[in-house]
Amino acid sequence: MQIILLAEGIRKGRNASLSHRHLLVILLIGGLFLPLFFGVLTFRIHALLERHSGEQSLVSAYGEELARQATALEAAKLEASTHLNALALKLGQLQAQVLRLNALGGRLTNMAGLDRREFNFETEVAQGGPEQTGMPGGLDVLASLDRLSLEITASKAKLQALETLLLDRRLTDAVTPAGWPADGGFVSSHFGTRADPFTGRLAYHEGVDIAAKLGSPIRAMADGVVSYAGEKSNYGRVVEVTHASGLVTRYAHLLSLLVKVGDKVGRGDALALVGSSGRSTGPHVHVEVLKDGRAVNPAGYLRPSERSKLAHTAP
């Protein structure tokens, strides 16, 4: 085989001859190194392709994970929004219940005559104590609010029962004779057997005499309706008040009457003026309490310690 070599810029070439031996050596070298070269080249190309494929798989995996996290975040936001709405609704309900309880507590404070400075339902309840840290678990707000709501409901029912009881008691007290019918004065004659002030003989006295200043007011011992106002033998001028409790109070020996039959009177209202009409030795009021038409001892209804209270309750 003859090979002609031409250098650049030189027109005349150089001849080189290759023998069969040289050609065989070249073929052997080419047969050994060319497969190796192409094998290495193929391996590198395959490795590059595999690495590129792996990177694409990793990117896809990252994308899927980000999508999952975004979905979880949206679900968490929706759940949080739902919880916040439920919490706001529960707080609104509790605030309404607390307002009702405050109003009810204020009424009970007035009805029971409690000190409003001590039982002020418009101020925050005093609390305190050292803080204890490291308690296990967290606070379940909704569960705590549910428990608080149940406690408020139970307390409200108890307060309403107490209000009803106090109201019934006030009504009972209002229509049950109690107190002191005169402005001042003192008991000058008790209920029961006594020496008659005119004859000196033993006689049964069906009331209690309260000596008081002539012309001073005589007041109702309980709410009721005037059922009699006029003259009666031995009693002089009389006023009788019938009460819802079934009792009747009688006030006798009056100077003048300030009410008439059918008038509604309240505890402490002026009925008449202290006098000495009828069978009397001096200015006083004869007080009787009648139950089912029979006179009972008024001592259980009279409160000497409240001598001025009825006067203070009068309009």
Instruction: Tell me whether residue 301 is in a domain.
Output: yes
Instruction: Tell me whether residue 34 is in a domain.
Output: yes
243 close to 291: Cβ distance less than 8 angstroms? no
Residue after which a domain boundary falls, among 74, 93, 124: 74
Residue after which a domain boundary falls, among 37, 56, 74: 74
CA dihedral 145, 151, 156, 158 (to 10 degrees): 180
Q: How far apart are CA 160 and CA 97, in angstroms?
A: 13
Q: How far apart are CA 197 and CA 179, in angstroms?
A: 26
Dump pLDDT digits (tens) for 129-177: 676 665 555 556 667 677 777 777 776 776 776 667 666 666 666 678 8
Taking the model in full, what pTM does it have? 0.53
Instruction: Tell me whether residue 102 is in a domain.
Output: no
Instruction: Tell me whether residue 154 is in a domain.
Output: no
pLDDT of 55 > 60? The answer is no
Q: How far apart are CA 72 and CA 80, in angstroms?
A: 12
Residue after which a domain boundary falls, among 39, 74, 109: 74
pLDDT of 181 > 70? The answer is yes
Structural domain of 20: 2-74
Q: State how many domains the chain has.
A: 2
216 close to 254: Cβ distance less than 8 angstroms? no
Helices (H) and strands (E) in the chain, counts: 3, 14
Instruction: Tell me whether residue 232 is in a domain.
Output: yes
pLDDT of 207 > 90? The answer is yes
Instruction: Tell me whether residue 115 is in a domain.
Output: no
Instruction: Tell me whether residue 124 is in a domain.
Output: no
Query: How many angstroms from the chain centroid is the CA of residue 45?
Result: 79
CATH code: domain of residue 254: 2.70.70.10
The per-residue pLDDT for 315 is 41
Instruction: Tell me whether residue 207 is in a domain.
Output: yes
Question: 288 is written with which tokens?
Answer: 């009787």
